[in-house]
Amino acid sequence: MASTLTFSPNDIPDLTGKVALVTGANVGIGLETAYFLASHNATVYLACRSEPRALAAIDILQSRLKAAKVDAKVYYHSFDLGSIKTAKASADDFLAKENRLDILVANAGVLGNQWTPEWEYEPMFYTNHLGHFVFVTTLLPLMEKTAAMTGDVRIISTTSKALFMTSPTIDYDSLVNRPKDADEPRRVSQFPNAMKVYGQSKLANLYFAKELDRRYREKGIWANAPHPGWVGGTELGLTEVADMFGFFTGRLAAWLTNTFAMSTVDGASTQTYLAVSPKVPELGIHGEYVMPRNNWFWRYQGPQVVKLDAAYQKEEEWSKLWEWSEEIVRKELAK
Ligand SMILES: NC(=O)c1ccc[n+]([C@@H]2O[C@H](COP(=O)([O-])OP(=O)(O)OC[C@H]3O[C@@H](n4cnc5c(N)ncnc54)[C@H](OP(=O)(O)O)[C@@H]3O)[C@@H](O)[C@H]2O)c1
């Protein structure tokens, strides 16, 4: 199956009538994903934490859509993963304003954030996983209702190959016990651990998709976890990595990424494929880790489903994450 998957924007079906929401859609991979969806006539919500940045992104999308002769249906939705309460409130607001949700791309993410005293939990894990957990699970009844009408709802939990930089078992103690050196000035020797911690949050994105799939597949909800590839032209970790490496090395790393990595259009392709392709239900692609297939020159050739080791296929790890996250959400919402 893996080698035969292909993706071209021309393969995207007409999405008229479908409602999509992309988190972190004001820039990078999320912005291109929103364009792919809106340019095929979906109503697209850009779920973003900064209203000015989201409105600027909508302006860009609208002019591109106008040039493509598409009637733009793109809207800002206020969304902040920085606290469980704001993420929940954002989902509740969405439930109050829409009566269907066909495609949810949980794309927003951070890399390299320091565990400063205001964080009670490790900040990358909190933002990348816990915020999305409460947001997505609050929206599940609406997606179930939509799936009952259409039989085809997609949830995309954007992950990263960085998940392989950590153990396949989530270290829950590390998420609640602030390390002693957390307040020390940033330095390059912190980078490997930052990648490990980021990897753990991305492992959670994978296990969340797997558990969603296990619980909701029979209801017509297709959940998958794409790795977009190594993508340039985004803002991921730019400030945080520059802080660790120093200004010049940080700029050099950004230049190398922007020059040699995949474009944001190619980076958005794998998650768009999972969000819209009729091949997903046809081929039974669910609960999978999917990544780009590139040629020798790093050019995108299409998506590939990766068969993960048995260490990543333990249902007890997926459901443990779900139950642990539910408990944290319960505690935080009760405060
Ligand atoms: N770029 C890569 O090579 C790569 C590789 C593997 C996986 N990924 C994954 O792909 C996804 C998109 O990354 P990208 O490279 O496009 O990054 P990006 O350009 O930095 O975009 C990240 C988006 O997430 C949003 N975000 C961050 N913190 C948030 C918060 N607390 N609440 C709401 N939104 C928040 C950002 O909003 P602001 O603009 O307001 O900060 C931005 O819209 C991420 O999940 C990332 O882990 C990327």
Q: In the block, which residue shows the tokens 């969405």?
A: 94
Nearest to 3 by CA among 293, 334, 323: 293
Centre of ligand 1 from the C-alpha of residue 237, in Å: 8
Q: What is the pLDDT of residue 1?
A: 47
CATH number of the CATH domain containing 19 = 3.40.50.720
Q: Is the CB of 110 under 6 A from ligand 1?
A: yes
Q: Is the CB of 80 under 6 A from ligand 1?
A: yes
Closest ligand 1 atom to Cα of 162:
6
171 lies in some domain: yes
Angstrom distance (rounded) from CA 76 to CA 34: 11
Q: Is the CB of 164 under 6 A from ligand 1?
A: no
Percent of the chain with pLDDT over 70: 99
Local confidence pLDDT in tens for the 335 residues of the chain? 445 699 999 999 999 999 999 999 999 999 999 999 999 999 999 999 999 999 999 999 999 999 999 998 999 999 999 999 999 999 999 999 999 999 999 999 999 999 999 999 999 999 999 999 999 999 999 999 999 999 999 999 999 999 999 999 999 999 999 988 888 888 888 888 899 999 999 999 999 999 999 999 999 999 999 999 999 999 998 888 888 888 888 888 888 888 899 999 999 999 999 999 999 999 999 999 999 999 887 789 999 999 999 999 999 999 999 999 999 999 999 99
299 lies in some domain: yes
Q: Is the CB of 130 under 6 A from ligand 1?
A: no
Centre of ligand 1 from the C-alpha of residue 80, in Å: 12
Q: Is the CB of 19 under 6 A from ligand 1?
A: no
pLDDT tens-digit series, residues 250-305: 888 888 888 899 999 999 999 999 999 999 999 999 999 999 999 887 789 999 99
> How many residues does the structure list for the chain?
335
Angstrom distance (rounded) from CA 69 to CA 3: 34
Q: Is the CB of 81 under 6 A from ligand 1?
A: yes
DSSP type of residue 231:
B
Closest ligand 1 atom to Cα of 198:
47
82 lies in some domain: yes
Tell how far CA 302 is from the center of its chain.
Answer: 19
Q: How much is the pTM?
A: 0.97
Angstrom distance (rounded) from CA 297 to CA 294: 8
> Are the C-beta atoms of 24 and 47 separated by less than 8 Å?
yes
Angstrom distance (rounded) from CA 125 to CA 193: 13
CA angle 295, 233, 235 (to 5 degrees): 130
Choice from 29, 81, 94 to test ligand 1 binding pocket (greatest atom count within 8 A of CB):
29
DSSP calls for 143-157:
HHHHHHHHS-EEEEE
Q: How many domains does the chain have?
A: 1
244 lies in some domain: yes
Q: Is the CB of 237 under 6 A from ligand 1?
A: no
210 lies in some domain: yes
29 lies in some domain: yes
Closest ligand 1 atom to Cα of 205:
45
Centre of ligand 1 from the C-alpha of residue 124, in Å: 11
Tell how far CA 275 is from the center of its chain.
Answer: 12
Q: What is the extent of the structural domain holding 73?
A: 2-329
334 lies in some domain: no
Helices (H), 42-190: 51-67, 84-97, 123-125, 132-150, 173-176
Angstrom distance (rounded) from CA 273 to CA 254: 27
Catalytic residue set = 198
